[in-house]
Structure 1
Amino acid sequence: MFRSLNVFIQKATHRVLLLGYSFIFICSCSKQIQQSDTKQWSNDLDLETGQGNENRIKNLIKGGAYVNQREKDGRTLLHLAAEKGYLDCISTLIKAGADVNQKDNDDCTFLYHRPSLVRLKTKNGFTPLHLAVENNHPDCVAYLIEKGANINQKDRYGQIPLHLAAEKGYLDCVIILMDHGSNANQLDNNNWAPLHLAAENSHPDCVQYLIEKGANVNQLDDQKRNPLQLAMYSKSYITENSERIKNFRCIEILTSLGTNLTQKSNYGNAPLHLAILNNYADCVQHFIDKGVNVNQPNNAGQTPLDLAIRMKRLKCINMLQANGGKESNAQ
């Protein structure tokens, strides 16, 4: 009995000591482990880039891996991805802030050995130029154009890089693209021009610039809506902050530069009807000041006042009645 108890105590003591030493070892190594995390992430990122594993690259970047790390020969991850032709990996790296102008020890950028990369596409039809614009990297945009990127290349949605720049409000990218001959009136698969996108997303600087460069203010999309009507569909007017101010500024620019104020969409409503439907009283007054016909019927025969009464837009009702607005017999 005593022998069994002694054996038990020896085994238990051994386990306690083993656990204790393990704990001490872990504690003493924790600092080294923490310090090596970044290096390990970077090594893993280098490996996954070389293998073209886009999803793993995204996860490593989220974990803190450095996208502009360099090898002894000066090559970056972009160099490595370019040499392998991994465009999706290049896309991910650029989105994460990889420096496209970084040169290796031979003074070569990532496109030197694969200049054809500027013409490759992702599964969505995005070229490196689309990606640089979408992520607002004007220096990268200029660099890719210099290397032969097609500024009017369409993606699967029929959009050229200028569409993306206008939609996001990236004026610097818009200017660079236009300076290099991008088509301000290029239509996508929905017949949206860049101006439609800039107006809908309340980017007055882009709206102004595109019009100055020849954008058609009366271009209709596939639902017969001009850029002004797209601005009326913007949700920016709902808020009481700078977004609403920018939205109204887009409307002012468009109405002052020749937009057709009587254009009806496929749904039969002119801009004044839309302003009432959206309870956009400031815009109603603006259209009245511009001399719009306050009694223009929509396709259902309803005048703006009919809509204002039906929608119980009291402020709009008062504005319309004060300026000759009338009811019709339409229901």
Structure 2
Amino acid sequence: MSRSGGGDQDGKPDLDENRIDSGIEYALREPREQFPSLANSEEKDKHSTDERLDSAYGSSSLTVDSLGDFIEECRISKCENATDCQYTEEEVNFLTTVTEDGDTILHLAIIHEELKFAQYLVDLFPPELMDIQNNLYQTPLHLATYLNLPIAVKILVEKGVSLELQDQDGNTPLHVACEHGFWECANEMIQNTSPGKLANVLEAQNWRGMTCLHVATLHKRPRLMRLLMKNGVHLNIKEGTSGKTALHIAVEQRDVAAVKLLLNKGANVDASMFNGCTALHLAVGRQDAAIAHLLCQAGADKMIKNMEDETALDLADGNDDILALFPFDDIQFMGRTVINYSM
């Protein structure tokens, strides 16, 4: 996706030359699939791009032409600082316009990757205006993350926007970065947020009950897992629907590298889900001898019972590789080996 210049490479005519004085491209770009709000607008007005983004308020409309006209009138070169500019009532109304999809002009600047104009708006707006959520509950920070724009993320986070706001799926921007593997975006959020505020973000659950660590583990993002661990994530936090820890999820994904990483960082090998199952129950139930062996090496208790009164051994189902992990010549009390007759 091009970020500069006008041109006719997409079959669209060049816009007026005086609209690119500040280095901003005004040609309409194709929307990303992540933004159905924008796609829906295009579907409604696919025969007329001039009115594809209508405001939900009053009779005014936010169009590509009006966006270009406004930037032309308020070029960055006119003021040393955006906050020093004097705006007419019409310009103020334009800046605060919201489309029928709930997008502000800052949402649109980020969607079209107009980073210079986005910086201009960030300098102008107070944080509360930059935290407005569209109809999908996405903030500009959500959109900057979906598009993997770490520069835009840095600009927004340094201005003090909220990292805790959740979209329609309950995802914070950091959830989004962890799901899609956008390490640089996640790092900008983490490095530019105070430890106190970051702790709340790391514990936030989406509507599936998952924290950022759960999401990073589910989508096999080891680099992001390490970043979260380095910045104080709680390794044994349970997701809200079934009580799985990141270790449970790694076992379910048969992700040996993630299991090793979590165990090496101190994850509780015997943490149980709401149904009483430990990671070892899950490994044995899946007949995964390799991961079961790792868990046993880390000291997993083989005699813990789940709510069905089953130990991991009960789930072995005759698998010789699994059964080899459960010696029968030990005397155990309360799940702990007391005497080992093989010595």
Quickly name the TM-score band, shorter chain normalised. 0.5 to 0.7
In structure 1, what is the Cα distance between the partners aligned to 2:105 and 2:282?
43
Displacement of 1:274 in angstroms is: 0.6
Q: Which residue of 69, 84, 88 corresponds with 2:103?
A: 88
Deviations 1:95-143 (A, max 9, x none): 865232248xxxx734466555411102232211112123321111011
What's the C-alpha RMSD, in Å, of the aligned pairs?
4.4
Distance verdict in 2 for CA 1:137–1:56, change over 3 Å: same
Alignment-derived partner of residue 187 in structure 1: 204
The amino acid of 2:322's aligned partner reads C
Q: 2:219 aligns with which of 188, 194, 201?
A: 201
**Aligned position for 2:243:** 224
Call closer, same or farther: CA 1:59–1:176 in 2, change over 3 Å. farther
User: Which deviations, in whole Å up to 9, do the C-alpha atoms of 1:125-175 show, x marking residues without a partner?
Assistant: 221111212332111101112333222233355432222222222221221
Q: Which amino acid aligns with 2:221?
A: H
In the TM superposition, residue 88 of structure 1 has moved relative to its aligned partner by 3.4
Q: Does 1:175 align with 2:198?
A: no
Aligned to 2:264: 256
Q: Does residue 1:293 correspond to 2:301, yes or no?
A: yes
1:38 maps to what in 2?
12
Give the unaligned 5+ runs of structure 2. Answer: 1-7, 16-24, 30-36, 47-63, 77-90, 333-343
Q: Distance in 2 between matches of 1:36 and 1:215?
A: 45
Q: 3-state SS of the aligned residue for 2:12?
A: helix
Give the deviation of 1:249 after TM superposition: 1.9
- TM-score, reference length from structure 1: 0.65
Q: 1:53 to 1:269 in 2, by over 3 A?
A: closer
1:140 aligns with 2:152: yes
- Report the TM-score when normalising by structure 2: 0.63
Decide whether aligned partners of structure 1 residues 57 and 269 sit closer, same or farther in structure 2, where only a CA change above 3 A counts: same
Deviation at 1:210, TM superposition (A): 1.1
Q: 1:241 maps to which residue?
A: none
**Relative to structure 1, is the Cα distance of residues 157 and 314 closer, same or farther in structure 2, using a 3 angstrom cutoff?**
same
Equivalent position SS for 2:225: helix
* Deviations, residues 13-59 of structure 1 (Å, cap 9, x unaligned): xxxxxxxxxxxxxxxxxxxxx9994229999959xxxxx97534479
Aligned match of 2:120 = 109
Residue 318 (structure 1) shift: 3.3
Over 3 Å counting, the alpha-carbon distance change for 1:306 and 1:125 in structure 2 is same
Q: Report the Cα offset of residue 94 of structure 1.
A: 6.5
Evaluate the alpha carbon distance shift between residue 259 and residue 53 of structure 1 in structure 2; reply closer, same or farther with a 3 A threshold.
closer
Letter in 2 for 1:318: A
2:316 match: 308
The 1-side partners of 2:173 and 2:289 are apart by 35
Match of 1:159 among 157, 166, 171: 171
Q: Is 1:129 the equivalent of 2:146?
A: no
Cα 1:154–1:284 change in 2 (3 A) is: same
Q: State, as a whole percentage, how many aligned pairs show the same letter.
A: 21
Could you say if the C-alpha distance between residues 57 and 226 of structure 1 is closer, same or farther in structure 2, counting changes exceeding 3 Å? Answer: same
| Native 8 Å contact 1:202 1:250 kept in 2 | yes
Give the number of equivalent residue pairs: 267
**Structure (1/2) with the larger helix percentage:** 1
- Partner in structure 1 of residue 114 of structure 2: 99
Q: How far, CA to CA, are the matches of 1:228 and 1:83 in structure 2?
A: 46
Q: CA deviation at 1:297?
A: 2.5
Residue in structure 2 matched with residue 55 of structure 1 by the alignment: 40
Distance in 1, matches of 2:139 and 2:105, equals 10
Matched, 1:280 2:288: yes
Contact 1:118 / 1:147 at 8 angstroms: preserved in 2? no
1:281 offset after TM fit, Å? 2.3
Amino acid at match of 2:233: A
Q: Unmatched 5+ residue regions in structure 1?
A: 1-33, 47-51, 62-67, 238-246, 327-331
